[in-house]
Amino acid sequence: MRSRTVLSILLFLALTGCKGLAPTAKPTAVPPTPTPISPTAVLIPTPEPQPTTTTLTLWLPEELNPYSDAPGAEILLQQLAEFNQSHDDLQVEVFVKNIHGRGGMIDYLRTARDAAPSILPDLIVVGADDMATMATSNYIQPLDALLPTSQAADRFPFAVEMGTVKSQEGDGTVTVGFVIGADMQHLIYRKTPSSSPPISWTQVITPPVSFIFPAGGRDLQVNDTTLIQYMAAGGKVTDPEGNPFLDERTLLKVLTFYDDCVSTGAISPTVVLNITSAELSWERFDAGEGDMAVVQASLYWREVLASATDEPYIAASVPTRDGFPFTIAREAWAIAMVTDDPDRQALAMTLFAWLTAPDNTAEWTQAVGYLPGTRSALRMWDISEAQQAALRDLLDAAVPAPSQDVMAKVGPAMQVAVENVLTGEASPQEAARAAAQSLE
């Protein structure tokens, strides 16, 4: 028993070696010293500065309301929308107003100029007939220093004249409006392989060509067709002092031409006296009457350009004594500057340039049928080169219409003379003398 115990002790010592039996202390884990972490810089992107948007105000007349279903309205609205889309820093706000009457453009320009100038527009589109009144009252500003030279030179003479007024200093003229387009009368002729439109009186009566024109008066006024022929022959409607006047000798030439047309069968008095407007003249011609007719440009080109057919007729000047082109421009629409602040004028000219750009002007005038006020816009019309040449000659020779005050006296006298000759109640000499004497 004792020997077994000794043997167990010896075996234990052999296995453990000579190390002591004292217990070994278990090492304690020392936590690592934390390393300080540098703060990481967070890059916050700086927002790019947004451009300041300036709102430009444009007043349009009710006749050109872009929100209506009138011809050209949709195109004008689209052009204004494209301006807003193309300019981050400029936006146009449109107001539609009547030109005359209470609450109209002229009324607002007068009452708000001193009381509430902030509600006034930067630009307006008005009839050329109203610009003189607006300029005299300083409602609209001169454009001469603002118009680029190239743009100013691009205008037809009638557009230049209709956009200018006499300087208040009396030493010349001032441009106050840029004419976009105007209405006027011209001839159309049925197209044949070898034909050309008669442009002189002789060509109408030798041989006779069936001629339709508005000889009938409206509100006692003579139609522009007769007035065109009278003025093209050198006739004046005012004397040197500005009083209403008729040149008896020149009126006699026109009335003699009408008398010759009746004699040769070129015109039928019954037919032409029942035509009181160029619009009606176009309708009867388009229905098959006559070989040529005087038409209103706005109606004729609006219908022709809107159709998908080729040009059915040839456009030319109303026949004149010598065959030189001539016509009278009416219902011209022009853009004018209202704001007198130089900074806003500079911004407004961006919108001005957009509206008067040749492609925009061409597109709009084609839609409404008005003839363009600039050569570059006419070149962009979708018509043949021959028709472009005819219209270019016509527009180069066009003149503004005489004043309404003058025509209120001259027009009825001329109309009575035309009717008396066509009905045979008076000879051309008698009718011309009576008309001239009625104004003395």
Contact 61, 99 (CB under 8 A): yes
pLDDT at position 171 is 78
Q: Which residues contact 213 (CB under 8 A, 6 or more apart)?
A: 223, 225, 267, 272, 275, 278, 281, 293, 294, 318
* Cis peptide preceding 207, ω within 30 of 0: yes
pLDDT at position 245 is 97
The strand pairing partners of 175, in sequence order, are: 164
Nearest residue to 186 via CA among 384, 326, 366, 370: 326
pLDDT at position 28 is 44
pLDDT at position 9 is 37
Give the phi and the psi of residue 388 in degrees, each rounded to 5: -60, -45
For 274-312, the pLDDT digits (tens) are 999 999 999 999 999 999 999 999 999 999 888 766 677
Name all domains of the chain by residue range, CATH numbers in brackets: 54-182+331-391 (3.40.190.10), 185-326+403-438 (3.40.190.10)
Nearest residue to 117 via CA among 338, 343, 346: 338
pLDDT at position 51 is 62
Nearest residue to 394 via CA among 405, 378, 408, 406: 378
Parts of the chain with a pLDDT under 50: 1-41
Residue-averaged pLDDT of the chain: 89
For 53-74, the pLDDT digits (tens) are 999 999 999 999 999 999 999 9
pLDDT at position 45 is 61
